[in-house]
Structure 1
């Protein structure tokens, strides 16, 4: 796992800001909690992120004990997060972007970064679940090559071979 810390990149977003994407490390835990404490309630999807600090802490810790985390930062502030939990050769993941940084290509870049890392770890398929009404997420996933695998009245499960 020591080599995992070598995974990081800088890139320029659509507004010309320099964004740092990297593997989540425990030292960033408090910064990640802060991002979720500032998260707009109307941007929650599938009941996530949790609404309370304690819920956020338990959720983040559980995700990162069972999988991999990836973050996007502008300066010292975390502005995006992916959690990927592998099961065999598949990984279910969730992505959340701070509402002040949406529509800047950061989520797409974070997904690309995480995909590269997960492929190197032997993951062959990514799976994501989102609400059918979450157009931003559905459009982003489709643009990145995800296909709808299952649907019901409320949710879509999307997947992509990597």
Structure 2
């Protein structure tokens, strides 16, 4: 597993240092989610407002093949500003993406750059389709995903959700 940072620069000029999570990131991730708005936590987990130990463990204890979780740190590499998770089916055909950004860091391009990063990582693994399940009220995430070429479809059985999908280059 490569622990090197990937440097990303957002549209606002913010420099991010992105890397896969490590087991030692649990405390920093717990602190990060305290800085994510309650509404954004609900959007990210589709019901949970409080992020517990089991959620953080699921983000840090990944197989780094079928599932990967990324942290986007500030320029110094010390503070988590955003997270992204890619969870693929066993055949690596479809990958689901989920992104969170600190409340005080929104509208700086972090979510956009993390989604682009996850898309590149998914393509490198041979994933054929990315998808995201969003609460219909999460207008900003839906807008970003549509701008990046995702198509929106109704979520069967739940009118409050929408599925956004994008085919990737094979």
Q: Which bracket does the TM-score occupy, shorter chain normalised?
A: 0.7 to 0.9
Q: Is the Cα–Cα contact under 8 Å of residues 33 and 51 in structure 2 kept in the other structure?
A: no
CA change 1:58–1:22 in 2 (3 A) is closer
With structure 2 as the length reference, what TM-score do the two structures score?
A: 0.81
Structure 1: give runs of 5+ residues left out of the alignment: none
Preserved CA contact (<8 Å) 1:36 1:56: no
**Distance verdict in 2 for CA 1:57–1:71, change over 3 Å:** closer
Shift of 1:61: 4.6
How far apart, in 1, do the equivalents of 2:167 and 2:80 lie?
Answer: 28
* Higher share of residues assigned helix: 1
Q: Name the residue aligned to 1:35.
A: 32
Spell out the pairing of 1:5-44 with structure 2 (5 A cutoff): 5-6=3-4, 8-43=5-40, 44=42
In structure 2, the partner of 1:67 is 67
State the 1:57 CA deviation. Answer: 3.0
1:100 Cα deviation from its structure 2 partner: 1.0
Cα distance in 2, alignment partners of residues 17 and 130 from structure 1: 26
Following the alignment from structure 1 to structure 2, what is the Cα–Cα distance between the partners of residues 52 and 68?
19
Q: Which residue of 2 aligns with 1:95?
A: 99
The counterpart of 2:119, out of the listed 82, 91, 115, is: 115
**Counterpart Cα distance in 1 of 2:3 and 2:57:** 23
For residues 140 and 102 of structure 2, the distance between their equivalents in structure 1, rounded to whole angstroms, comes to 13
Between the aligned partners of 1:121 and 1:100, the Cα distance in structure 2 is: 33
| Shift in CA distance, 90/142, structure 1 to aligned 2, threshold 3 Å | same
State the Cα distance separating 1:12 from its structure 2 match: 3.0
5+ unaligned residues in a row in structure 2: which ranges? none
TM-score (norm 1): 0.85
Q: Is the 8 A contact 1:37 1:53 kept in 2?
A: no
Q: Distance between the aligned counterparts of 2:137 and 2:149, measured in 1? A: 19
Equivalent in the alignment of 2:53: 54
